Structure 1
């Protein structure tokens, strides 16, 4: 089991954005973290990545406690990440973007006398081949279609040879065919590399098609987890998320305009 999250909580000025969440991510599986707006999934995701420090609870990666560690230190342990808005250098070529990630992994500082294009060329090309972008290696990232930029970002994330990959809204802004291509590629890489993936996603067609396991949050609490069929037929999930027109009991009610 690559990732074990236990009784994880995060409060902001007394408000519990995440409240006692527990789940696991095994190797070789895609696990989706989903929920309606305000469910706490982004907060939970950012605690796993190290961008937020938990108020309480445990985050164990490969049996090592990482709760509260800095993102860079977590990355060096073997946790990669992609972002909702693709993070690439638009003025640089596709291969240079990957070469910079490889140099960072190996702690190689590139001086003005040694451009990125002179380092890790073969390994960068191999990564681009894996994500189907080798033919675009010498093009600037800024001229690529958005779906191709997402593939480059995936190659960058794989440069660290991660055991766990965190993907924040990986298909945001993509056309349906691009979404399916990217997730099919991700699933293939997960199997080939035997890595675990934890991803957030608003597109339910992507979630139910590609996730091996779903974790559902609502108002900071875990309300269901399991495979697609289990979650799709879960009464509470249907009520608060999948569209019965109802919502579950709010945290506070009002009487005469006074919160109670």
Structure 2
């Protein structure tokens, strides 16, 4: 469904991503794990068009998309929940959700999608008139996910969804990710919490200094001695 083929990405003369290739199947959860600075977020930004690759290709449903603008990529069916949530703090919850749907014209389906989002995140319905900036970190994470879902994506990119959240809130977010995937949503997950990533994902890629150092079934990788020592603390 989604392929990254030998992607290189630079910031000035510094290569942040070095020849990365990733395959994401339909209705799968695929995770990228690695330390800070490994290139995970740059890879995600490259998929959604926020960072243009120096070379290589991003292919979505048979169409090359790495040369397209972010709004065009979003319209094709890829949405990103950025690290740090980045909600619009001076807008209400409902206004934030509406911002996620700014490209859509299918108003009837949009209403149904909004109700589905409220089912996943009841707190958003309860607080739809509240300013987003006054919500807790966990609630803002739910809002950021809801906003991305309002675009009706086929692929959801989640960049560090558990960052800064309590263990209880992390469990809630994980449960929702599982629900979304069970409903057929394809998810690419960047997560420093490797235990959580391996719990959720079918396939995993380990990034080190801009490169993919290991890849395979998450179930197999979590038992690899190097992964256990470096990322699981075992």
Taking structure 2 as the reference length, what is the TM-score of the superposition? 0.87
Instruction: Name the counterpart of 1:226.
Output: 216
Match of 1:223, SS state, is: strand
1:167 pairs with 2:166: no
Match of 1:79 in 2: 78
Question: 2: CA distance between counterparts of 1:211 and 1:125?
Answer: 27
- SS of aligned partner of 1:230: helix
Counterparts in 2 of 1:228 and 1:166: CA distance versus 1, 3 Å: same
Deviation at 1:13, TM superposition (A): 5.0
Instruction: Please state how far the C-alpha of 1:230 moved relative to its aligned partner.
Output: 1.6
Q: Does 1:136 align with 2:134?
A: no
CA contact (8 A) 1:125 1:137 kept: no
User: Structure 2 unaligned runs (5+)?
Assistant: none
The CA deviation at 1:199 is: 1.6
| Alignment correspondent of 2:207 | 217
Q: Distance in 2 between matches of 1:157 and 1:186?
A: 13
Q: 1:124 aligns with which of 101, 108, 114?
A: 114
Q: Is the partner of 1:88 in helix, strand or coil? A: coil
Question: 5 Å matches for 1:181-192?
Answer: 181-192=172-183
Contact 1:95 1:125 in 2 (8 A): no
Cα separation, partners in 2 of 1:46 and 1:89, compared to 1, 3 Å = closer
- Number of residues paired by the alignment? 231
Matches of 2:117 and 2:219 in 1, distance apart?
34
Q: What CA deviation, in whole Å up to 9, does each residue of 1:134-178 have, x standing for no partner?
A: 222233323322211211111110111100111111111110110
Distance change >3 Å, CA 237–CA 121, structure 1 → 2: closer
Structure-2 separation of matches of 1:237 and 1:13: 31
1:196-216 residue CA offsets vs partner (Å, 9 max, x unmatched): 111211112321222222111
Q: Which residue of the partner structure matches residue 150 of structure 1?
A: 141
User: How many Å apart are 1:233 and its aligned residue?
Assistant: 2.8
Distance 1:147 1:239, change over 3 A: closer
Structure 1 spans left out of the alignment, 5+ residues: 109-119, 245-260
Match of 2:191 in 1: 201
TM-score, length-normalised on structure 1?
Answer: 0.79
* Structure number with bigger Rg: 1
- More deviation in 127-136 or 155-164? 127-136
- 1:43 counterpart residue number: 42
8 Å CA contact 2:195, 2:232 repeated in 1: no
Q: Cα RMSD between the aligned structures? A: 2.4
Q: Would the alpha carbon gap of residues 160 and 229 (structure 1) be closer, same or farther in structure 2, given more than 3 Å must change?
A: same
Per-residue CA distance 1:32-67 (angstroms, 9 max, x = gap) = 111122222222222112111112111101111011
CA distance in 2: counterparts of 1:53 and 1:93, whole angstroms: 32
Tell me the residue number matched to 2:64: 65
Q: Does 1:179 align with 2:170?
A: yes
